[in-house]
């Protein structure tokens, strides 16, 4: 079974630009979560989508947004990029099993110059 | 504030020995517990999940859960250089979605030849 896929894998942007990252979950998974990982802050939860609805959102500014499509694929968007947005953005998918089991994609490494 | 605590390390273990990684959590009602392995520059990989008190073994890995003492540990037997990575402990504070999961900051494990 194919794992979680994320595109693009690497991205370089400049301050003020916007970026869209894509995530395709494991087949059958309807829950998709996004995380930001930086050396100093560790894994920070951004948001979770389930059945095209945002179920929870972490403590990030409104510049960070996302959506989920009917096929469970998800995108996240960051507008007006700041230097501090440089990070590894991880997508994780899982079943709606209540346990919270989730599998991570390879991540998108974003560098903001 | 619900917390998951891990010793940041680095934990240095000789090749062939048992590596013991520990994690404590604050929410007594926590239901599910996960260990992820993350190599430098890569995404987290789920290696163990445990839901009930006691031990769960998978190959060289054993997860141990003690809900009364609020700790979960990961033992790696016959440690190999390829086990050198950061190990993230994750706790679901309830029978709920993945968005509630709390990640520890990780323990860096180094296996010395």
Using the Cβ of A98 and the Cβ atoms of chain B, whether some distance falls under 8 Å is answered with yes
pLDDT tens digits for range A79-111: 999 999 999 999 999 987 778 899 999 999 999
Average pLDDT over residues B67-95: 95
- The answer for residues whose C-beta is within 8 angstroms of residue B67's C-beta and 6 or more apart is B28, B30, B53
pLDDT the model gives residue A98: 74
pLDDT the model gives residue B70: 96
Distance from CA of A86 to the nearest CA of B (A): 14
Distance from CA of A16 to the nearest CA of B (A): 26
Nearest residue of chain B to residue A33 (CA atoms): B99
| Residue % of chain A over a pLDDT of 90 | 88
Q: Between A31, A90, A105, which is nearest B97 by CB?
A: A31
pLDDT tens digits for range A13-29: 999 999 999 999 999 99
- Kindly tell me if the per-residue pLDDT of B23 is higher than 90: yes
- Kindly tell me if the per-residue pLDDT of B88 is higher than 80: yes
Interface probe with A: pick from B8, B98, B101, B104, most Cβ of A within 10 Å: B98
Whether A90 and B44 lie within 8 Å, measured CB to CB:
yes
Using the Cβ of A40 and the Cβ atoms of chain B, whether some distance falls under 8 Å is answered with no
């Amino acid at each position: 079974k194919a794992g979680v896929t994320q595109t693009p894998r690497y991205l370089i942007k400049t301050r003020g630009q916007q970026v869209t990252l894509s995530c395709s979950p494991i087949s059958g998974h309807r829950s998709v979560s996004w995380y930001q990982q930086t050396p100093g802050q560790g894994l920070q939860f951004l948001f979770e989508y389930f059945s095209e609805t945002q179920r929870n959102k972490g403590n990030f500014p409104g510049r960070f947004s996302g959506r989920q499509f009917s096929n469970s694929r998800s995108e996240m968007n960051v507008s007006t990029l700041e230097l501090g947005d440089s990070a590894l953005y991880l997508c994780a998918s899982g079943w709606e099993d209540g346990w919270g089991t989730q599998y991570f994609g390879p991540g998108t490494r974003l560098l903001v110059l | 504030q619900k917390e998951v605590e891990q010793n940041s390390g680095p934990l240095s273990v000789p090749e062939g020995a048992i590596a013991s990684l520990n994690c404590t959590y604050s929410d007594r009602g926590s239901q599910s517990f996960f260990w992820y392995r993350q190599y430098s520059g890569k995404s987290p990989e789920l290696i163990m999940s445990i839901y009930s008190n006691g031990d769960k073994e998978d190959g060289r890995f054993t997860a141990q859960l003690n809900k009364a003492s609020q700790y979960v540990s990961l033992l790696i037997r016959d440690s190999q250089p390829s086990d050198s990575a950061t190990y993230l402990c994750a706790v679901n504070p309830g029978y709920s979605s993945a968005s509630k999961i709390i990640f520890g900051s990780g323990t860096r494990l180094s296996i010395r030849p």
